[in-house]
Amino acid sequence: MEEVCEGKDFSFPKQEERILSFWAEIKAFETQLNRTQSLPEYIFYDGPPFATGLPHYGHILAGTIKDIVTRYQSLTGHHVTRRFGWDCHGLPVENEIDRKLGIKRRDDVIKMGIDAYNEECRSIVTRYVEEWEKVITRTGRWIDFKNDYKTMDLNFMETVWWVFAQLFDKGLVYKGFKVMPYSTGCRTVLSNFEAGLNYKDVPDPEIMVAFPIIGDPHDAAFMAWTTTPWTLPSNLCLCVNANLDYVKVHNKYTGKVFVVAESRLSAIPIEKPKSKVANAPAGDTKVSNPKSKSGKTENLMDSYELLEKVKGSELVQKKYQPLFNYFIEFSDTAFRVVADNYVTDDSGTGIVHCAPAFGEDDYRVCIEHQIISKGENLIVAVDDDGCFTEKITDFSGTYVKDADKYIIEAVKAKGRLVKSGSFTHSYPFCWRSDTPLIYRAVPSWFVKVEELKAKLLENNSQTYWVPDYVKEKRFHNWLENARDWAISRSRFWGTPLPVWISEDGEEIVVMDSVAKLEKLSGAKVLDLHRHNIDHITIPSSRGLKFGVLRRVDDVFDCWFESGSMPYAYIHYPFENVELFEKNFPGHFVAEGLDQTRGWFYTLMVLSTALFGKPSFRNLICNGLVLAEDGKKMSKKLKNYPSPMEVIDDYGAVSSLLVNFGNIFSLEIICHSSLLVLLL
């Protein structure tokens, strides 16, 4: 290798390229792996990125941390296999194909054929592999691209089947009907942690609506507050808090009588006396909050007369007039007041309107109070595109967010609108389509994460994190509030659920391997994607008259696949049994802060469910590298300069020191001595 030349003409980029050429010439990385092969294993899990775009600085930062730790372990007496991986399935790939082919609806895919669609998806998955290898290698990182793993490979997918089958046999899987975050842009349900990936501050309507009480001597009405007017057509009950005080108040000027929580009286409108309204300037007839000379809001009792005060528990079972008649068939059980502790008095009126198809608590409350039955085929009056179905006749075909204004107009026309306005709040958007999420009841397959909560928290305490507060605060809190995980998606490009069901639903067979499917079906299986196995049937074990079992349509959430990575990338338990069982949990993982709700979480859930252990022992979590506008760097938004341009101009080492100097912060240095001992 040439000597380093010092002076004003010294070029970091050129010197780095000489070093890289020398490493390639002597096969430095390969030689290191060969020479350390007999040494104790140090297991490093490299999280698979989506291969639908080029790497940004966040990937390079995490990769640098990974490289530092794995190099150190190699130098201190360990064999460290470093295989790069690719997340090949899911919405990122399907979205690209949808844009390319102009696909707008699920029916478009069915029309062109799932086989053609999936092969289109397969064709673009490795499009950027060469570019990734070029960028990562240029940063000086030693990582094995030749023996990379892909979540679309047969061996990987087979292990995913095995993981699911283990959970199913443990009684940790169920099919249910659950209200989940739903992307109308991607036409699919999202997991709760996906829903938390993209929040924005946006304006939304807020309205107060009157629900007249049937048989009330004062013709009073319950006053409910909502920020989702589009859910009002599906209202089935009102919910109060049994322990709160509620008051019935009479407006002295309008004669209207409302029931609200006593502590929320200040939220209801104070209307001007009719004489004042008559003398007001044209158009000045809106509800106002008059001010006294002291600047304080005029005493509510100057406008309202207190008629009655009761506990919320005394309102339970009172019936009210429905706002719309779309669900009049539920009249025997619905349109009444129930009580639940989720209702608070920190906002609104202390009375919550419940639409069970569009709210998690709404659904739970309606089940618990027998408004609807758990096994019942709940009517979800919004289709996969987020538009009202024919059930909602007046707004059929209208996108729900667009329907807000029309529904408010309808409520006003019925004389039920008490107050309207708008407010800005933090609202979840789809992390891929960037469309607002809604909550929608969907049939899905779930993992019973809530049942594992205590063990998850215990396993988290056994791991070592840098920085430790991410583990003890952010990740602990996320686990503490974990909910059952919807692991299925009604999509096409993914690992199919290995579930075959009989026509009568009485017989279920779950495949844990390709061999089992071949044995039961008699078919030869070379690929596990939908278009290669959906046609395969299994004879019923009960006899010919019961027909055959067919596979369910769903595929796995891609997070389930990446969470299975510690087993699937080595094709466990079909291969490498001794390697896995001797070295599990893995020694080290590292990714960005956003993975506390993503990969770190799914790793922990699946390993806890399978083995009762965490999947990793040590973890380094770096902060997010933001773009110039303060937003997260995103391949989709393309809001950052090309890393290769910066590296070519200034060199990889210089770029790392300037851009990622915080990874050498005092906090990290203070942790480092302890970290090295534990790693």
Among candidate residues 256, 272, 471, 635, the one labeled active-site is: 635
Residues lower than pLDDT 50 in the chain: 276-297, 663-679
Active-site residue, 230 included: no
Active-site residue, 635 included: yes
CA atoms of 587 and 44, how far apart (whole Å): 6
How far separated are the first and last CA of the chain, in Å rounded? 34
CA atoms of 210 and 285, how far apart (whole Å): 19
Give the count of alpha carbons within 13 A of 657, CB side only. Answer: 6
pLDDT given for residue 10 in this prediction: 76
Active-site residue, 48 included: yes
The DSSP bridge partners found for residue 423 are 204
CA atoms of 278 and 271, how far apart (whole Å): 13
Whether the CB-CB separation of 385 and 264 falls below 8 Å is answered with: no
Give the pair of three-digit tokens for residue 445: 């397959």
User: What amino acid occupies position 339?
Assistant: A
**Domains of the chain with CATH codes:** 1-35 (no CATH), 36-127+449-491+556-679 (3.40.50.620), 206-420 (3.90.740.10)
Tally Cβ neighbours within 10 Å of residue 12.
15
Active-site residue, 178 included: no
Active-site residue, 485 included: no
CA atoms of 470 and 463, how far apart (whole Å): 12
Among candidate residues 46, 48, 484, 643, the one labeled active-site is: 48
For residue 641, report the phi and psi dihedrals to the nearest 5 degrees: -75, 155
Active-site residue, 55 included: no
Among candidate residues 87, 340, 362, 594, the one labeled active-site is: 87
Whether the CB-CB separation of 278 and 285 falls below 8 Å is answered with: no
User: With DSSP H G I counted as helix, E B as strand and the rest as coil, what are the percentages for the chain, rounded to 5?
Assistant: 40, 25, 40
Among candidate residues 86, 142, 493, 559, the one labeled active-site is: 559
Active-site residue, 225 included: no
pLDDT given for residue 636 in this prediction: 64
pLDDT given for residue 8 in this prediction: 63
Strand segments (E) across 227-289: 237-240, 245-251, 257-261
Quote the pTM value.
0.77
Among candidate residues 132, 445, 493, 599, the one labeled active-site is: 599
The DSSP bridge partners found for residue 464 are 618
Among candidate residues 92, 431, 467, 595, the one labeled active-site is: 595
Whether the CB-CB separation of 319 and 338 falls below 8 Å is answered with: no
Whether the CB-CB separation of 208 and 224 falls below 8 Å is answered with: yes
186: DSSP letter: T
